[in-house]
Amino acid sequence: MSVRAVGEIASFHAHVYFDGAEEAAAARALRERVAERFAVRLGGWRDQPVDPHALPMFQIALAPELFGTLVPWLMLNHGSLSILVHPNSGRPRDDHLRDRIWIGAALPLAEEVLPETEDEAETAGEPNTAPTLSP
Ligand code: ZN
């Protein structure tokens, strides 16, 4: 097996899942707290599951440099929500299924929709938050 370099990771995603009204409210609050503290790109609010995800969720796209603060912050502040953190290295299947971490309880993913490779690893994109608080 060849050694991979961290530079292969173009960005990370943190997918915050929720199930039912109570968790949806907790996820909304978490989303606001993240936006107040981190320059990230928040994805749309998904009330219905979108493949490969089994539950409603929203996505946080983060630059690799933010991993060391945002992920520990999520570990301390996720409450009872499940969060999938995965790299975007151009290998969607491995990124989501093999090389991920879970904060909270692990959930199933629809493996069959995840391609082995993609042409270009997804970057975090322009942040759409304007943080005013320190994490
Ligand atoms: Zn993702």
| Structure confidence at residue 71 (pLDDT) | 98
Question: What domain count does the chain have?
Answer: 1
Q: For residue 58, is it within any domain?
A: no
| Structure confidence at residue 105 (pLDDT) | 98
Burial class (CB in 10 A: 0-12, 13-18, 19+), 15: buried
- Asked whether the beta carbons of 16 and 30 are under 8 A apart, the reply is yes
- The model's pLDDT over 44-92, given as tens digits with 9 standing for 90+, comes to 999 999 999 999 999 999 999 999 999 999 999 999 999 999 999 999 9
Q: For residue 88, is it within any domain?
A: yes
Please list the alpha-helical segments (H only) found in the chain: 21-37, 67-77, 92-97
CATH number, domain containing residue 117:
3.30.70.1240
Q: For residue 49, is it within any domain?
A: no
14 CA to centre of ligand 1 in angstroms: 7
86 CA to centre of ligand 1 in angstroms: 7
74 CA to centre of ligand 1 in angstroms: 16
| Structure confidence at residue 94 (pLDDT) | 97
Please give the model's pTM, rounded to 2 decimal places: 0.96
Average pLDDT of the residues in 1-23:
96
d(CA 106, CA 83): 8
